[in-house]
Each structure stands twice: as C-alpha cells, then as structure tokens.
Amino acid sequence: MTEQRRPDLYSNIQSLSENHQDPIPVDDWIFKFGPATVYGHSVVHRTSLSIFFVNKKPVVQGHVLVAPIRSVKRLADLTTEETSDLFNLVKQTEKMLMLRYNTDSCTISIQDGPLAGQTIPHLHVHILPRREKDFERNDDIYSELEKHDKEETGWRDEKAMADEAQDLRNYWKQICS
C-alpha cells in the first residue's frame, strides 16, 4: 500500500511504524523543531496538525510549547485548519496546566519573528502557568522569555524532560481524554 500522507504536512514527525499500520511508540517519535530536535519522550500530546511538548529551558515550572507539526516560521503561514487545531490544543493545554499546577492564570505568548524575540524559526506558542509573585513585576516574564534561551546555562537534560512529559501525559489522560 502506498503512503498517503502529504509530506509537506507530515515530514517533520515520524507517526507510523515501518509497516505503516501501527503507531510507533512515543519514545520513537522525532519532531524537527527548526534546527532543534524534539524527541518523543518530551512530547506530551499531538494531534494530526499540532504538537505539545516540554521546554528545554523553562522560564517557570510547567512552561511548555505548542507548535504546528508542519514547519512554518510565522503565524500568518498557517492554514485555517492548522490555526484552529493549534489554538484548540493551546486551550486544552492551558486548562490542563492550570489544574496540574493549581493556578488560575497562564501567560500565553508567541514571539512571531526575529524582532519579536523568536529564536527558533518554527512558529510556537509558549504557555506558562503563573503563580502569585513568580516575578517582581508581572511583565518581567516577557523579558525572561526574550533572553531565556540565549543564555548558556539552565538547559535541562533529556531525562528531566522525559520525566516531566510523562507526568504531564498521565495528567492529560485524566483531564483531557
């Protein structure tokens, strides 16, 4: 049977096994995120068009990313279907994170283009659960977002990311399934 998936939509993530019938284990997924690689053990959830994964360098506890699977640099590059899917996943993710981290607020941010602070040339949405007094001034979070991945320290190892993703996957099953 010939593979029917459009490569322009699905080439960035491995979603099927060699026989193209059974889903491959989550740990075998590979997602090309601009120049970076996100391994399946860091992925919390994915739809046919979007993916939710933990952050290599979180600004606050629970800081995660949601991105389209298709590699696009800017929000305006998304199709209507991709936009809808992306923001539906953002909504579900925010709801789950607020329950998981016992908060009633999140900062949701898109750095759309280099002058807006985007360092990975693949559109992505930051979702950051907020807690009282997590920053001296509330808007300091934007300064942290702008500089957090430019500093050489504070990067997490794959084990820490896998552990967080597994915790969030378990919580996702309870809340969102």
One-character DSSP codes across the chain:
----S-HHHHTTB--S-TTSSSPPPGGG-EEEETTEEEEGGGEEEE-SSEEEEE-SS-SSTT-EEEEESS--SSGGGS-HHHHHHHHHHHHHHHHHHHHHTT-SEEEEE---SGGGT--SSS--EEEEEE-TTSSSSTTHHHHHHHHTTTSSS-PPPHHHHHHHHHHHHHHHHHHH-
Catalytic hit among 45, 122, 124, 126: 124
Separation CA 27–CA 162 (nearest Å)? 9
Is there a catalytic annotation at residue 124?
yes
Report the catalytic residues.
124
